[in-house]
Structure 1
Amino acid sequence: METTSSTLDKFGEDDIFNTVLRYGLFVAAIFQLICIASSIFLPTSQESQETDGEIGEEQKQSTDIINAARRQHKIRKLEKKKRR
């Protein structure tokens, strides 16, 4: 009984497509790791910090307006109860 590498190999020899696909997947995985590492370790730029600050101020102002409207509604509701 002769065991050669051709009988142990389930899939046969790799063709060009399988080789390109395998190396392409390795390159894609390395690229993803680099992107994840850069998003973790690199500091944010000054421009993005400034725009984030402006957005935060706008959100803060809008929540203040909403809270003021709620307070006014409660005050009017209490005044209406007092009149009854």
Structure 2
Amino acid sequence: MDAQSLLRSAADVATAFGRVFAIVKANGGIWRVTCDIDGAPSLQIGSTGKLTTPRFGCSSGRHLVLAGYEIDDNNRQVTLRLYL
């Protein structure tokens, strides 16, 4: 897995989050999706992707924005925070 970001400090993250949150707070919430690190794509905050699952009415897919992620090396998993 390759994780790239221009965010270098907690202040950078707080500023970026504030900008993104101001845009999306009127449109919906955050989804958390956990997947295996080995199958995870290259991660870049702000990138978009399509989530396809038979649950939550997403059988034809739904475009989401990557707002953040948490890596769990012990379990070889990554939890993605995705904005609707």
Into which bin does the TM-score normalised by the smaller protein fall? under 0.3
Whichever structure has more strand as a proportion of its residues is 2
TM (norm. structure 1) is 0.22
Structure of greater relative contact order (alpha carbons < 8 Å, 6+ residues apart): 2
Greater gyration radius: 1
